[in-house]
Structure 1
Amino acid sequence: MLAINPYLNFNGNTEEAFNHYKSVFGGEFAMVMRFKDSPAAANTPEKHQDKLMHIALPLANGSMLMGTDAIGEGGMPFVTMGNNFSLTISAESREEADKLYSGLAEGGNAVSPMHDEFWGDYFGWLTDRFGINWMITHNPNATK
């Protein structure tokens, strides 16, 4: 396993939050993707087009703080402040991703099975039987 990183869901103010985190932790954003930039942009309401679908801020020791505007339509649903996060596992291989997904999904809710995504990762999302949200990802171009 390459890493486990927090993935934060915000109720429309992700950009404000991440600009604050950037001022605290320093560094530059590794990725900023808006809903209007996705293949599903046509299904996203106009009012959400400029909201953040994904943002990533590298931290120390290879950690990554990631987030999204949880807009509901076309995005992750916002839950409740305090439990509006997922843990993201960056797997070293597709096989490891499948194994982790299968194990964590046992007795839980498989929200999105492992599949190839338009941004290039092999990705799946689930809630385990203890109520923890997990995103499993494998980037074939990631370096250790």
Structure 2
Amino acid sequence: MAISTTTHLNFRGDARSALEFYQTVFGGHLTTIAYGDFGMPKELPDADKIVFGQVTADNGFSIMAYDVPSQAPAAAAPAATTREHGMTLTGERFFVSVRGETAEEVGALWDKLADGADLIEKYGPSQWAPGFGMLTDRFGVTWILDVAAPYAG
């Protein structure tokens, strides 16, 4: 039996923009379905918001997202993620991790994803990987990009 996981992101009105941006970074096929496409009357405020969205690419990248209905209460904002003295300090419940095989391929993804992002740790060689970087993108999602390193244990 094969099992896979896909990160599912929850937005407040900008799921379409985020998914379109992620498609420009990772490539692949974009699917977006609005609440109105599922029968919500077009005159309601959320009718044009995304109820189901995803980007899937041949290289294995996959992400899903939707817009939380406007009637849902907003969660308290987590503390910003920072790196200090080699430690990651955060109040976030998750990060999205992207791992590739070479520093060049991961670096190319980093360059695109970093557009408009807050850099937490600049992409480059680290003690544990040929390439590592951490950022919070323009949509508030924190990403870890790294290069797979052979296990030395």
Max Rg structure? 2
More helix by share: 1
TM-score, L = length of structure 1: 0.45
Q: TM-score, normalised by structure 2?
A: 0.43
User: Greater relative contact order: 1 or 2 (C-alpha under 8 angstroms, separation 6 or more)?
Assistant: 1
